[in-house]
């Protein structure tokens, strides 16, 4: 009773030092950049529906059947190659990696107009594989698909079922790949500064790891040695009682 009454709850509470205020969040870099291996949905619309159907053909879902005869829907779209290009109908090879969605759709629209393929086209670019991975002390670890392409750290943790009582909220690890490098950052969810962190807004393929605190590690370690001892003692007691009674 003494030990449980002295537990510090600040370590399991988000934003301990946050009061009623207005926090200015950074806007630079929030628009994700297209990377190698991304799967894009690119749709084109114009007054000429027959011509635009050529450009939208790769977005048509393809359905295949497995050995059991069940229908399987395969991901479709434009895959960015390891060189950073996509193959677009009638425009050929286009550089995609390194551009934001807005910049890339403007590039496609300009190419269509310059080559006199379409007049005043409307181009829409979306990610089909925007996801992050949440591991460690969360209730539902695994890959999290973010449909709106602008997920935050808190949204990803919420979609993973929130951090368990044993998770270290003041030392969350974020791993991000950019320009061939792995960026590793430690983030404190107990502090209000996380709201203005440049890593609060996630990018596709980010990995979030929540470490267990020392209490869980200690309890698991003790359990590995304690339970065999308890079972051995129970077995010994049963043997003694059986011997005495018989």
Residue 236 and residue 182 share a domain = no
Q: In tens digits, what is the pLDDT along the chain, a chain of 246 residues?
A: 444 445 455 565 666 665 665 656 555 455 678 888 888 989 999 888 888 888 887 766 555 555 555 544 455 789 999 999 999 988 999 999 989 889 999 999 999 999 998 888 999 998 888 889 999 999 999 998 887 777 899 999 999 999 998 999 999 999 998 777 889 999 999 988 888 898 998 888 899 999 998 765 555 445 455 667 677 777 777 777 777 777
What pLDDT is attached to residue 185? 93
Phi, psi torsion values for 166, nearest 5 degrees: -95, 0
Instruction: Say which CATH number the domain at 53 has.
Output: 3.30.1950.10
What pLDDT is attached to residue 130? 85
The verdict on residue 34 lying in a domain is no
Residue 103 and residue 176 share a domain = no
The DSSP-derived string for 40-67 is EEEEEE-S-HHHHHHHHGGGS-EEEE-T
Residue 204 and residue 140 share a domain = yes
79: β partners: 39
The pTM of the full predicted model, rounded to 2 decimals, is 0.63
Q: How many domains does the chain have?
A: 3
Could you give the C-alpha distances from 186 to 6, 26, 173, 207, in angstroms and in order? 28, 18, 5, 12
- If one counts every other C-beta atom within 10 angstroms of the C-beta of residue 233, the result is 10
Pull the structure tokens for residue 84: 């950073």
Residue 228 and residue 180 share a domain = no
Could you give the C-alpha distances from 44 to 79, 113, 130, in angstroms and in order? 17, 12, 21
CB 128 within 8 A of CB 75: yes
Residue 120 and residue 231 share a domain = no
What pLDDT is attached to residue 24? 60
Half-sphere exposure of 137 (CA within 13 A, CB side): 20
The verdict on residue 217 lying in a domain is no
Select from 87, 112, 127 the last residue of a domain.
Answer: 127
Q: Look up the domain containing 53 and give its range.
A: 39-127
Chain-centroid distance, C-alpha 111:
33
What pLDDT is attached to residue 4? 47
Q: Round to whole Å and give the CA distance between 102 and 197.
A: 24
What pLDDT is attached to residue 240? 78
Residue 83 and residue 203 share a domain = no
Residue 123 and residue 59 share a domain = yes
Residue 176 and residue 150 share a domain = yes
Select from 106, 127, 148 the last residue of a domain.
Answer: 127
Instruction: Say which CATH number the domain at 189 has.
Output: 3.10.560.10
Give the residue among 162, 146, 142 at the shortest CA–CA distance from 154: 162
Residue 193 and residue 234 share a domain = no
């Amino acid at each position: 009773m003494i030990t449980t009454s002295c537990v510090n709850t600040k370590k399991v509470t988000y934003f301990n030092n946050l009061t009623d205020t207005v926090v200015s969040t950074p806007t630079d870099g929030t628009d994700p950049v297209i990377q190698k291996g991304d799967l894009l949905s690119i749709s084109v619309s114009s007054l000429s529906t027959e011509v635009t159907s050529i450009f939208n053909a790769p977005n048509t879902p393809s359905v295949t059947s497995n050995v059991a005869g069940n229908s399987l829907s395969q991901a479709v779209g434009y895959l960015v190659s390891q060189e950073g290009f996509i193959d677009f109908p009638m425009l050929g090879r286009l550089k995609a990696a390194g551009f934001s969605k807005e910049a890339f759709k403007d590039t496609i629209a300009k190419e269509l107009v310059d080559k006199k393929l379409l007049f005043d086209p409307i181009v829409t670019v979306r990610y089909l594989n925007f996801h992050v991975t949440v591991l460690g002390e969360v209730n539902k670890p695994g890959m999290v698909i973010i449909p709106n392409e602008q997920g935050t750290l808190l949204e990803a943790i919420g979609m993973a079922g929130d951090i368990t009582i044993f998770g270290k909220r003041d030392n969350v690890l974020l791993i991000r790949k950019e320009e061939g490098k792995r960026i590793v950052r430690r983030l404190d969810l107990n502090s209000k500064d996380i709201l203005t962190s440049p890593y609060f807004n996630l990018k596709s393929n980010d990995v979030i790891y929540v470490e267990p605190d020392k209490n869980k590690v200690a309890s698991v370690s003790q359990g590995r040695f304690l339970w065999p001892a308890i079972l051995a003692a129970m077995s010994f007691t049963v043997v003694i009682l059986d011997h005495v009674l018989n």
